[in-house]
Structures are given as C-alpha cells and as structure tokens.
Chains A and B, each alone.
Chain A
Amino acid sequence: MRELAQALMPHLMVAPVLLPLLAACLLMLVSERRHRTKATLGLLATAANLVVAVLLVFWVKAEDEPSAFGIYLPSNWDVPYGIALVLDRLSALMLVMTALVALMALLFSLARWHKAGAHFHPLFQIQIMGLNGAFLTGDLFNLFVFFEVMLAASYGLLLHGSGPARVKAGLHYIAINLAASSLFLVGAALIYGISGTLNMADLAARLPEVADADRALLHAGCAILGVAFLAKAAMWPLNFWLVPAYASASAPSAAVFALLTKVGVYVLLRLSTLLFSDGAGDSAGFGGAWLLWGGLATLALGAIGMMSAQRPARLAGFAVIVSSGTLMAVFGLARPEVTAGALYYLPVSTFAVAAFFLLTELMDRSRQSEGMRQQAPEDEEDHLPFSMAELELSQGTNLDEDEVPLVGRAIPAATALLGLAFIACTLLLAGLPPFSGFIGKFAMLSSLLEAPGGTVTPVSWLLMGAIITSGLLALLALTRTGMRFFWTPVDRPSPVLRVVEYLPIALLIGLCVLFTVRAEAVMRYTRATAAALYEPRLYIDAVMGARPLPTPTNADRLGVPVPGGVR
C-alpha cells in the first residue's frame, strides 16, 4: 500500500480535489430520472475518494520523520507566488475523516433522500471537493475559494428536500455565511496589504519581521479573519444559526454538515500554530486566550442547549457545538500533548455526531407513523418537555396488574436495533467507557493533569470541570430523549428499518469501536501530528523549499539545463 502511494505521489495529492469535481461534472450530464446510474456513479466516486485519502495517510505515515510534508504546485510556479497544495499529517487525518463520513451519508441517502430533489449527487460531490480543498490548500486566498465552494454546495444541500422550515433556515444560514465571507475577505486583504503575501508558510516566515507600527494592523487583520472562522466553527456567540439550520436539514446533509464546523476548527488550529508560534516574535500566542475562553463559553452553552433541546435533531446540533467548543478550548491552551488528545477526539466526535444525525431521522420517522407527519418541524420547537399530549394513555394501555402483564412481550427487532444504536451514540457523545469518546476525553484530561512544572493551573482545572460536566449534561439529555422515544410508546407499530439506512449508522459506530481497539496506533499518529504542528519551522521550510519542475520557460531562472535540450 505504501509502495502504491509512493508511486502515485505527488500527483495523488491533487486527486481529492479533482476526483469529486470530475465526478460532479459527469453526474450533471446524467439525466435526473436515472437514479440508479447517478447513485452508482456517486457511490463509486465517494469510495474512490476514500481510497485516495487512505493512501495519502499511508504515504504521510511512511515518512518516519515528523517532517512528512507533500507539496504540490498545480501551476508549476515558484512557491510564494503560485498556488500550493500542502499535505501533512493533520490534513491527511481530516481527509480520511471527511471521506468516511461522506461515504456513510451518501449510503444513507440512497434509501430515499437522493430522490427528494434535483442535483443531490453533483452537489454532494462539490461539497466533498470544497472540504478536501480547504484541508489541502496552502494559501489564504485559495482557502477562501474552497470555503465558498464548500458553502455554495452546503446551501444547496441544506435546501434539499425543500419545505418552509428548510427555506427559512437556509435564508438565515446563507445571510450569516455571506457576512462571514465578507469578513474573511477583509481579513485576508488586510494581511496581504501588510505582509505582501497570502501563502501561509511565507506569511509565517515574514511575521516576526513585520514593523512594529504595522503589527497592530496585522493583528486586526488576523482577528477579522479569525472571526470568519469562528463563525464557521460555531463559537458562542456566533453560533445561533447552527442548530436551526442543521436540525432542519435532511439527515444525510446534516451528517455532512457535522464536518463543516470541523473545517473552521481545522483552520483555527492550522493558522494559530503556524503563525503565532513561539518563534513569531511579538505575535507569539496571539488569540490563544480568545480561543480558550470562547471555547469554554461555547462548551458550557452547548451543554446547556443540549438540556433544553426536545427534538433529537436539535440535540445533535448542540452536540456539534459542544464538540467544537471542546476542541477550540483545548487548542487555545496550545500544549502539544493536550492537542494530541484533542486530535483523537476530533474524528471520534465527528463520527458520533454524524451517526446521531442519521439516527435521529429514523427515530423521527418511527414516531411519525401516527399521522404526525404533517406537522412542520418548526412547530415542534417549543414543545414542553415530555409533552403531555404524547404521554396520554390510550384505552388499551396496560397499567393495571389485573390485566395481562407487559413482561415477556417481545421488543420488535427494529426498535431494539435503533435502541442499541442510540445507546452507543449516547456513550460516545457523553464520553463514557468503553467507547472511544471516553478514550478521547481521557487522553485530554490526563495530559491536562501532567502540567509542565508540576502544578496544574486553575484554567486547566476549569477546562477539566467543563469537559466532565458537559459530558454529564449530554448524558442526562440523551437519556431523557431515549426514554421518551423508546420506552413511552405504547400502541405504536414497530418502525420499518431498511438495511441501507441502518448500515451506515452501524458502520460509523463500528469505526468508533475500531478507534477504541486501535487507540494506541491512532494516538501515536496524533502525537506525531501535534508535535509537527508546534514546530512550524518544519512546515515553513518544507513549503518554501519546494521547487517547480524545470520547463523550457523557467529553466534559466532556476539555473538548470533546459529539459529536452530544445529551445
């Protein structure tokens, strides 16, 4: 596998962007009525994307030094001027996570959602392309472009299936993201105006030499840029759009949206470690405190939100917020060993939330069999806890000892399977043993305790308390929902479960189990990732040292003989 990856590099690096783009173009050409052809093509492309991502991880892992970087210059221009794609351990990890969640969401959508509106498959591929591009790009402006590609596809996916609730949430979502994109542009332009570069590595190299008079302006630019990412990563108070939008999206779209917040978190981690490392002179540590305290506030309010949520889809939306709040707070501490734990927690929590989004759809559907289907989702937002109407007992309900006992009545298999999946999601989201959610939290907490110098700072204690309390609140909220869904129904027909819908959920949970079993290997990988992240010199040298291939037009400048000898 390593040899194969080695043979295909460096061109394999550009495949995560090109492959979904080509697939989307092909899918556009297939008639909308040929569902089977479209589904097959989409599935093949997504599976191929996963294979590419796995090969890239193998390639990165094969380089034993921490400096495992793949640089690809798509236009063959010299480094700070042309476009550069950069692959390192962190982006490879994100690529695999994206590919896995995307494949599962697509599989789930094949049951019914992909027929619910036009152009689902092309939009889905473009979404994957935008995500992959954002993880691979090495300069700020291409990051903007890939962000927009990703967002444009997400607008389409959010509206997929239509309906008043989706359109309303979509309108708010688009307006917020357009405003955030404006901030992104202002920040990027300001940084360019002062440093004269948009390449992240070049920017990091030049940052220490910025004149003192300009430094405040540069920090302002970085802060404005940061606000755009924070809005995407759902930091409080920029996250009010998230829950209504994600909760009203169709289940497969919502599962993919769980990845979008992780893009914001990824960019924050990438830029804060690269630009504001210890070597950055007066800029060292810029924004760390904001990330830490903002992340803590996000974590706390996300956990409280989980307690207040009634619909499972809203619960999942708040779980997304809790997950990114935890990650931001931990990244704000800027300690490699804690970050390593957080990088283990990142894919696990994403898988769990994605599985939960898919599961909520099945749970909602099982409850809607009693003619509640007409009820628009937003009408349910303000339901009382355990709303009484729902609990009202029907005539034949068995409460009395004189009647036939309930004991011994078989639970329908479908309900049992749903319940099992729900329990697994609960354990993962609350971070309880034996699943990987626990290991991720344990890794973070134990490294928080191993403070440098022996004393654990009050902030670390606070963060630990917040992480543990949020886990407890998540457990309470999820248990309550589980009781309401699986125990209270009395005369409900057992839900119909289709294999193609249950399989992705089972696979996502299976992935989390795999992460538990192979925790040591994954932790080794994330430790190496974190170690490389906090040595930005490696990244800078790798990118700045990349040379374009000699061609007749640049051979003179590069000082090499003209290839082929023709002139």
Chain B
Amino acid sequence: MEIVLALAIGVLTTCGVWLMLRPRTYQVIMGLALLGYGVNLFIFSMGRLSVDSEPIMVAGFPPTFEFYDDPMPQALVLTAIVIGFAMTALFLVVMLAQRGFSGNDHVDGREDAE
C-alpha cells in the first residue's frame, strides 16, 4: 500500500510540476490541479496508512493509534481541497480574461515564433 501511494504522489507531482512549467495557460492550470492532488494525498499519508480503523472513538477500545486513525490530516485535507478548488476556479477566470485581452493562450500573452 505504501509503495502504491508513494508512486501515486510521485507521478501526480511530477506531472504537475512539468505541466506548470509549460507555456500554455491550460497546461499550467492542469499542472496546478495535479500538484494539488499530489499534495492532498501527501497530507493523507502523514496520518499514517491503515485499513479499517475508526476515525472517531468507539466505546470498548482504548484510545491508541492501534485501533484508531488520525482524524487530523483528514480535517486538514478537507480544508486544503476547498481552498485549492476555489483558487483553481479563480485562476480559470483570470486565464480567460488573459485570453480575451491577448487573443492567445500563452502565459505571457504573446505568441512565440514557432
């Protein structure tokens, strides 16, 4: 499970960083979204990986991490998702405005001589 998660985070982050460095605004926004997913998964993994453990205390089990999952990273990731989503939406608006002004989707607003 650890290896799968680590690979997923690694692939998402790599793709995100690569896309973010591309010259087209659409690629940049996809890159930022992928980077956001990578980061969110990473926050999850910081609560340690476990299967079938309760996030909220249940009567009859001592309160140790042997029986429970850490609820904190889940709360953090929820906030991070909401904020990330809102920021991506805002970025999309600015991207469209930029396209309206410059007539192309280059991040600097100018078409390079290809």
Chain A CB within 8 A of B46 CB: yes
Bitwise, B27-66 to A at CB < 8 A (1) or not (0) is 0100010011001001101111000000000000000000
Write out the residue numbers on chain A whose beta carbons fall within 8 Å of the beta carbon of B109: 164, 168
Chain A CB within 8 A of B113 CB: no
Chain B CB within 8 A of A449 CB: no
Are A179 and B32 interface neighbours, CB within 8 A?
yes
Are B39 and A185 interface neighbours, CB within 8 A?
yes
CA distance A159 to B101 in the complex (A): 13
Bitwise, B74-114 to A at CB < 8 A (1) or not (0) is 00100110011011101100110110011000011100000
Per a CB cutoff under 8 Å, which of B32, B76, B107 touches A189? B76
Are A152 and B87 interface neighbours, CB within 8 A?
yes
Are B101 and A164 interface neighbours, CB within 8 A?
yes
Closest to B108 in A: A168
Write out the residue numbers on chain B whose beta carbons fall within 8 Å of the beta carbon of A162: 97
A167-B94, A189-B46, A190-B46 known; A175 vs B28 contact (CB < 8 Å): yes
Write out the residue numbers on chain A whose beta carbons fall within 8 Å of the beta carbon of B98: 167-168, 171
A167-B101, A168-B109 known; A186 vs B91 contact (CB < 8 Å): no
Are B101 and A179 interface neighbours, CB within 8 A?
no
CA distance A141 to B74 in the complex (A): 13
Chain B CB within 8 A of A178 CB: yes
Write out the residue numbers on chain A whose beta carbons fall within 8 Å of the beta carbon of B47: 193
For B28, B80, B98, B107, the residue with the greatest tally of chain A CB atoms inside 10 Å of its CB is B80
Closest to B40 in A: A185
A152-B86, A192-B76 known; A167 vs B20 contact (CB < 8 Å): no
A178-B87, A186-B42 known; A171 vs B32 contact (CB < 8 Å): no
CA distance A186 to B13 in the complex (A): 11
Can you sample 23 A-B contacts with CB below 8 Å?
A145-B79, A152-B87, A152-B90, A155-B94, A164-B109, A167-B98, A168-B108, A170-B94, A171-B91, A172-B107, A174-B87, A175-B91, A178-B32, A178-B36, A178-B87, A178-B88, A179-B32, A181-B83, A181-B87, A182-B35, A185-B39, A192-B46, A192-B76
Per a CB cutoff under 8 Å, which of B25, B43, B88, B101 touches A185? B43
What's the nearest-Cβ distance from chain B to residue A336, in Å? 35
Chain B CB within 8 A of A148 CB: yes
Are A192 and B32 interface neighbours, CB within 8 A?
no
Write out the residue numbers on chain B whose beta carbons fall within 8 Å of the beta carbon of A164: 101-102, 109
Chain A contact surface mostly: helix
Write out the residue numbers on chain A whose beta carbons fall within 8 Å of the beta carbon of B46: 189-190, 192-193
Write out the residue numbers on chain B whose beta carbons fall within 8 Å of the beta carbon of A193: 45-48, 73
Chain A CB within 8 A of B6 CB: no
Are A167 and B83 interface neighbours, CB within 8 A?
no
Are B94 and A189 interface neighbours, CB within 8 A?
no
Closest to B48 in A: A193
For B25, B42, B48, B88, the residue with the greatest tally of chain A CB atoms inside 10 Å of its CB is B42
What's the nearest-Cβ distance from chain B to residue A153, in Å? 11
Bitwise, A167-203 to B at CB < 8 A (1) or not (0) is 1101110110011011001101110110000100000
Write out the residue numbers on chain B whose beta carbons fall within 8 Å of the beta carbon of A159: 94, 97
Binding site for B on A (CB under 8 A): 141, 145, 148, 152, 155, 159, 162-164, 167-168, 170-172, 174-175, 178-179, 181-182, 185-186, 188-190, 192-193, 198
Per a CB cutoff under 8 Å, which of A163, A171, A188 touches B107? A171
Write out the residue numbers on chain A whose beta carbons fall within 8 Å of the beta carbon of B91: 171, 174-175, 178
Chain A CB within 8 A of B11 CB: no
For A163, A170, A182, the residue with the greatest tally of chain B CB atoms inside 10 Å of its CB is A182
Chain A CB within 8 A of B7 CB: no
The count of chain B contact residues (Cβ–Cβ below 8 Å) is 34
CA distance A162 to B107 in the complex (A): 17
Closest to B96 in A: A167
Are A189 and B102 interface neighbours, CB within 8 A?
no
- Ranked nearest first, the 3 interchain pairs of A and B with the lowest CB-CB distance are A193-B46, A164-B101, A189-B43
What's the nearest-Cβ distance from chain A to residue B64, in Å? 13
Write out the residue numbers on chain A whose beta carbons fall within 8 Å of the beta carbon of B84: 178, 181
Per a CB cutoff under 8 Å, which of B45, B83, B107 touches A148? B83
CA distance A155 to B89 in the complex (A): 12
What's the nearest-Cβ distance from chain B to residue A483, in Å? 33
Are A185 and B73 interface neighbours, CB within 8 A?
no
CA distance A186 to B9 in the complex (A): 12
CA distance A171 to B109 in the complex (A): 10
CA distance A106 to B39 in the complex (A): 37
What's the nearest-Cβ distance from chain A to residue B41, in Å? 10
Are B94 and A171 interface neighbours, CB within 8 A?
yes
Write out the residue numbers on chain B whose beta carbons fall within 8 Å of the beta carbon of A179: 20, 32, 35
For B28, B48, B86, the residue with the greatest tally of chain A CB atoms inside 10 Å of its CB is B28
Closest to A156 in B: B90
Per a CB cutoff under 8 Å, which of B76, B101, B108 touches A141? B76
Are B94 and A186 interface neighbours, CB within 8 A?
no
A175-B20, A192-B73, A192-B76 known; A167 vs B42 contact (CB < 8 Å): no
CA distance A175 to B107 in the complex (A): 10
Are B73 and A155 interface neighbours, CB within 8 A?
no
Write out the residue numbers on chain B whose beta carbons fall within 8 Å of the beta carbon of A174: 87, 90-91, 94
Write out the residue numbers on chain B whose beta carbons fall within 8 Å of the beta carbon of A198: 72
Closest to B35 in A: A182
CA distance A287 to B73 in the complex (A): 26
CA distance A189 to B20 in the complex (A): 22
CA distance A190 to B88 in the complex (A): 24
CA distance A164 to B102 in the complex (A): 7
Write out the residue numbers on chain B whose beta carbons fall within 8 Å of the beta carbon of A167: 94, 97-98, 101
Are A141 and B79 interface neighbours, CB within 8 A?
yes
CA distance A413 to B93 in the complex (A): 44
Write out the residue numbers on chain B whose beta carbons fall within 8 Å of the beta carbon of A141: 76, 79
CA distance A193 to B42 in the complex (A): 10
Are B87 and A185 interface neighbours, CB within 8 A?
no
CA distance A185 to B97 in the complex (A): 28
What's the nearest-Cβ distance from chain B to residue A181, in Å? 8
